[in-house]
Structure 1
Amino acid sequence: MSDDTPLIRINSNSNIRKYSEDESEYYLDQDDDLSHYGLFTKFIAYVLCIILGLGTLYFFTIFLPDTFIPESTDLVGIQKISNINVYLNPISQERVSELQMGVKNVGSPEQYDEYENENEQDYQSITDSKLKPVERIILIGDIHGHYTQFRKLLSSINYKKETDHLIVLGDFITKGPDSSKVLDYLIANDIDCILGNHEYYVLQNYALFHNLDQPFFVIPQENNDISLAESYEFKIKDNFNSDPEYILARKLQPEHVKYINHCSVIKHLGDVPVVKSKSTSFAPGIAVHAGIRWDLELNEQDPEDNLEMRSYLGPYFNETTSDPSEEDAISWSKIFNMKQKERASNGDNTLVVYYGHDAHRGLNIKRYAKGIDSGCDAGKQLTAMVIWKESHISKKGKENILFKEKSFQVQC
């Protein structure tokens, strides 16, 4: 064999034939040139790549959001002040017993020959209105998503939506395990609500997630118009993606958002009890989440104060803080109660405030300021304040009406 004759070698360990020339080796069964593929095959490959790309794009931009991200709904103005749409109808002592609301009488029924009203109002004008009559108004403090305890409390007070008017005082969601279940129950039973700071935060996060305008406050006018109140800048947290309120906001269905959005900051309750040492009178009451400024009219209140405050700042007590440990901070309810007593002694109109938010101070019942956030989320209690009007017949056959209230609690 000549030295110039190419060598063909067979590798006994494989079926690959190798060609050797100038100490270079080529695999005879491999070809880097794709030119042997037909045009039709190339066309099919390109079409499949395009279909795969479009399918991936559809999955991540349309199918996935539609499947796992709820549809958004626009936010409307949050009412700064609203009115309750019911009035208390007097119930008999027998009916009180049926409802298992035993409460120690303040004074004797015979002492009340007529209404004692600190503000000289005629209660009969309220009962003649077109409002719905109910037996009880029930206020519940901060639920914070604790659905089981919430339902247990309603059962313990024999709540009936047909005859009772229930109001949750804000912070009914977040922190606890069942915010969605609480919302579903409130919506299904058409339960009244006050906006809490945590509901407001959730609305802010909802607007951020869905690229909507941030929530704002409005003041209804007598001619059915509204005027714009305050709107606050939303400060995005550095870790907002892991923020529980942002995570909850992303999951909210439109009906959840609409319910939260319709909760007002302050709600007029009509007349409520003013319990003194040996007698009971009544005065207008309001519900709010955190508190109110004593030195401002209701339509002048700052919603941020109403959602956040826990204390006034001395020495003039015309500023608020959410931090009770701040220098010169004194419980707002203590100062407010003192100011209302001064008004009563001067013959001026007074106001009774029911509120939540301040779990640290717990159940905190004063004559004119009644705090009922008793720390359910911290494993303490969930509290309901039940208000009713009770009818008594005196020995002379005259009907006397007493305003009464009683708190009820369940362990969380």
Structure 2
Amino acid sequence: MSRILMISDIHGCIEQFNDLLDAIHYNPSKDNLILLGDYVDRGPRSKETVERVKELVNNHNVIALRGNHDQRLVDLVRTKSETVQGKFLEHGGMQTLQSYCHFVSENMDEELFKQAREYIRVNFSSHIDFLESLPLYYEDLHHIYVHAGLNPKYINWREQIEYDFMYIKEEFHQSEPRTDKLVIFGHTRTIELHDSSDIWFGRGKIGIDGGCAYGMQLNCLICDEGIYTTASIKNLWNGD
């Protein structure tokens, strides 16, 4: 059986991502790599991260899900919503603009922001199309993979709204599982779940976001013939 390798919330930390793949001896011809979303924002190299994920999906049948930060970048480029713009900048979007646009600085005014958004729309439409096309969940025989979680209010979790797949937190964390399959999720840093950046093993669910872009670590959950192990790469960058 092939190994299943699960990684989430890379957030522009491309060096840590590549180092982690090397550390676990990722073999594209043998391993099943599943990425749980949030490739952009906060970290320094969002553009390179999206390019790398795109290459893995297109050439190696990697499964990549859509996270809330990925959706927010799509919405930023596709719309002119001031609400989206505010949320984008509030949650690490400046680093994404700097990654994609060489002319962006911390002292950016409204006109420069518009230029940056248009620059991405014109020059990186393939990235935006790619992020927009990513599924919200993936399912196999034993697992459900999702960026944020499943809303316990839904008997059939597939019927929950898109927002829940990308944003839900406490309501999911504190609920009893409504599925026999193990739910693998990111979005919530594991330090918020058990005071550690290591992978969190809960009842019927496993959280894997190690908070790499916050100077913590990038985690990988490995399933090999039903046995779960973990690997991680520390990030010494402090996020400033």
Name 1:372's counterpart in structure 2: 208
- Taking the aligned partners of 1:236 and 1:262, their CA distance within structure 2 comes to 19
Partner of 2:180: 350
> Match of 1:198, SS?
helix
1:262-411 maps to which residues of 2 (within 5 A)? 262-271=133-142, 285-296=143-154, 297-312=156-171, 332-335=172-175, 339-340=176-177, 350-359=180-189, 360-361=192-193, 362=197, 363-389=199-225, 403-411=226-234
Q: Distance in 1 between matches of 2:202 and 2:89?
A: 41
Q: Map 1:67-86 onto structure 2 (within 5 A).
A: none
Structure of higher RCO (CA pairs closer than 8 Å, 6+ residues apart): 2
Q: Which has the higher strand share?
A: 1
SS in 2 for 1:370: strand
Q: Identify the residue that residue 179 of structure 1 maps to in structure 2.
A: 46
Using the TM superposition, give the Cα deviation of residue 188 of structure 1 relative to its aligned residue in structure 2, in angstroms. Answer: 1.9
Q: How does 1:167-316 map to 2 (within 5 A)?
A: 167-190=34-57, 191-208=62-79, 235-237=83-85, 244=94, 247=97, 250-251=119-120, 253-271=124-142, 285-296=143-154, 297-312=156-171
**Does structure 1 conserve the Cα–Cα contact (< 8 Å) formed by 2:35 and 2:64?**
yes
Could you tell me which amino acid in structure 2 is paired with residue 293 of structure 1?
A: N
The alignment yields a C-alpha RMSD, in angstroms, of: 2.5
CA distance in structure 1 between the aligned counterparts of 2:221 and 2:88, rounded to whole angstroms: 36
1:151 maps to which residue?
18
Shift of 1:351: 2.4
Shift of 1:139: 0.8
- SS in structure 2 opposite 1:144? coil
Does the residue aligned with 1:161 lie in a helix, a strand or coil? coil
1:140 partnered with 2:11: no
Contact 1:372 1:383 in 2 (8 A): yes
**Contact between 1:144 and 1:176, CA under 8 Å: does it hold in 2?**
yes
Q: Larger radius of gyration, structure 1 or 2?
A: 1
Which is richer in helix? 2
Q: What is the rounded CA distance, in whole Å, between the counterparts of 2:32 and 2:146 in structure 1?
A: 16
CA contact (8 A) 1:138 1:386 kept: yes
Normalised by the length of structure 2, the TM-score is 0.75
In structure 1, C-alpha distance between the alignment counterparts of 2:88 and 2:180, rounded to whole Å: 43
Q: 1:184 to 1:383 in 2, by over 3 A?
A: same
Contact persistence 1:291–1:355 (CA under 8 A) = yes
CA contact (8 A) 2:76 2:85 kept: no
Residue type of the alignment partner of 2:212: C
Report the secondary structure of 2:166's partner residue: helix
Whether the 8 Å contact between 2:36 and 2:65 is mirrored in structure 1 is yes
User: For the residues of structure 2 that align with 1:241 and 1:171, how far apart are their CA atoms?
Assistant: 15
| Distance across 1 between alignment mates of 2:164 and 2:49 | 26
Deviation for aligned residue 1:299: 2.4
Q: CA deviation at 1:169?
A: 0.8
**Mapped partners of 2:188, 2:30: distance in 1:** 30
C-alpha distance 334-238 of structure 1, shift in aligned 2 (>3 A): closer
How many Å separate the matches in 2 of 1:334 and 1:299? 19
1:236–1:357 distance in 2 versus 1, CA, 3 Å:
closer
1:239 & 1:307 partners in 2: Cα distance? 15
Identity, in percent, stands at 24
Per-residue deviation, 1:407:
1.3
| Aligned mates of 1:180, 1:289 — CA distance in 2 | 20
Structure 2 stretches of 5 or more lacking a match?
Answer: 101-116, 236-240
Q: Does the CA contact (< 8 Å) of 1:205 and 1:245 recur in 2?
A: no
User: Which residue in 2 is equivalent to 1:115?
Assistant: none
Work out whether residues 170 and 193 of structure 1, in 8 Å CA contact, stay in contact via their aligned partners in 2: yes
- How far apart are 1:270 and its partner, in Å? 2.2
Cα separation, partners in 2 of 1:238 and 1:351, compared to 1, 3 Å? closer
Q: 1:234 to 1:290 in 2, by over 3 A?
A: farther
